[in-house]
Structure 1
């Protein structure tokens, strides 16, 4: 475990911040987080679960397939520390899956996977919880106050980085959509002698009539040179 008070610990967190800033997208960002977690904390495995579309849970990064299996147990069963941490925006710790009786079915299955202690840390921004950082250890009571403090700092870094990466992804998608619509409008203007306002109105009408996103209508026109039926 890294020493928070030591210069080396501060340098490693500074380097992590730079790595997260340089990550190419959400998946690269959270993968950097879980890899750092295993190096910095007393854990055997780590993973990140993110809320997508306001309700769906996605597992974009784990250090081991075992973590995805632990997440799946809770998503399918609807019970466990992950769901509590996400719902209540709280840190949830399981000191020992042998002794903890809050989620007996989940605990029994997790023990079979070789996990004895768990620390789930919410990833929160001003807009709410965006996901959970999960830390897992084969040792009982592996996560004390020091590990929790480090995990909290790591989660803060991760929350900001995920929010930033998602914002950049959304901007990139918006720019891409504008490019597609512009190309499609150009095709209509050239083929039918339309001005740009009329070309856009044609695309918009087809989008509404077919209940298809405007960018998808544009992409189909570019690819097939035909509007959707």
Structure 2
């Protein structure tokens, strides 16, 4: 810079994009925090992916016991692709879950690494590019974020970088929503069991521990959850036969 020359006030375009991207993800984090329920959280994730990335469709599958379960998708066309892989237990989605890694199919027509049935179905529904990104929680795959494009090589390095950031936010949000749902179910179950115990204590003059043992015995004998036994007792005022 020459003496007396004013410093440039022009902003670096890259810095501007970074700030804009940070603001967008900050907004996403806030929105996900405000959403209640697992399904609502997943819906927010897929619609954000659709808006932020150059994809034709997006979807999320939850993973329980190592098996994916489709929870949300922005396009019914991809449901057949999900279903085919889950039923056959093979394909890029299954690989992403088992190997806990990003799977990118840049061009369905040029990639013969996957089952022929899956490639044929992808072509049939007009999908040419696919990304499956595992959402890791505690070192395990809790869900998979999937992106679909109708052109080859639809997802470049920048798209994958954005998807990685989205996956981190989504993993935390989904794990939190699951934990809150489990806690709510546990609290609900305790309330039901408490009400059922009260009915037994009043009707049969039992102590609280005796009433609980009655419910537990019926639960074990009929191979039913304690919560369900309590629910039936409250509704019918009768123990299951």
Q: TM-score range by the shorter chain?
A: over 0.9
Asked whether 1:105 is paired with 2:117, we answer yes
Asked whether 1:159 is paired with 2:164, we answer no
Asked whether 1:57 is paired with 2:71, we answer no
Asked whether 1:22 is paired with 2:22, we answer no
Structure 2's unaligned 5+ residue stretches are: 1-14
> Of 71, 88, 91, which residue of structure 2 is paired with 1:80?
91
**Any conservation in 1 of the 2:62–2:143 contact (CA below 8 Å)?**
yes
Asked whether 1:143 is paired with 2:155, we answer yes
5 Å matches for 1:29-44?
A: 29-44=41-56
**Any conservation in 1 of the 2:105–2:129 contact (CA below 8 Å)?**
yes
Asked whether 1:188 is paired with 2:188, we answer no
Distance (Å, rounded) in 2 between the aligned partners of 1:209 and 1:138: 54
Distance (Å, rounded) in 1 between the aligned partners of 2:72 and 2:130: 17
Tell me the TM-score normalised to structure 1 length: 0.95
Structure 1's unaligned 5+ residue stretches are: none
**Any conservation in 1 of the 2:84–2:118 contact (CA below 8 Å)?**
yes
* Cα distance change on mapping 1:55 and 1:90 into 2, 3 Å: closer
More deviation, 100-109/158-167: 100-109
Q: Once the 2 structures are TM-superposed, how far is the Cα of residue 77 of structure 1 from its aligned partner? A: 2.4
Distance (Å, rounded) in 2 between the aligned partners of 1:72 and 1:210: 34
> Of 60, 66, 77, which residue of structure 2 is paired with 1:48?
60
> Of 87, 92, 95, which residue of structure 1 is paired with 2:103?
92
Q: Once the 2 structures are TM-superposed, how far is the Cα of residue 179 of structure 1 from its aligned partner? A: 0.2
1:155-193 deviation line (CA, Å, top 9, x unaligned): 111111111111111100000000000000111111111
**Any conservation in 2 of the 1:4–1:10 contact (CA below 8 Å)?**
no
**Any conservation in 1 of the 2:63–2:142 contact (CA below 8 Å)?**
yes
Q: Once the 2 structures are TM-superposed, how far is the Cα of residue 217 of structure 1 from its aligned partner? A: 0.7
Q: Once the 2 structures are TM-superposed, how far is the Cα of residue 125 of structure 1 from its aligned partner? A: 1.2
Asked whether 1:116 is paired with 2:124, we answer no
1:86-139 deviation line (CA, Å, top 9, x unaligned): 110010111111111111331121011111111110111114011211100011
Root-mean-square deviation over aligned CA pairs? 1.4
More deviation, 193-202/129-138: 193-202
Counterpart in the other structure of 1:6: 18
**Any conservation in 2 of the 1:97–1:108 contact (CA below 8 Å)?**
no
* Cα distance change on mapping 1:56 and 1:93 into 2, 3 Å: closer
Structure showing greater Rg = 2
Distance (Å, rounded) in 2 between the aligned partners of 1:38 and 1:19: 16
Q: State the SS of the aligned residue for 2:69.
A: strand
Distance (Å, rounded) in 2 between the aligned partners of 1:132 and 1:63: 14
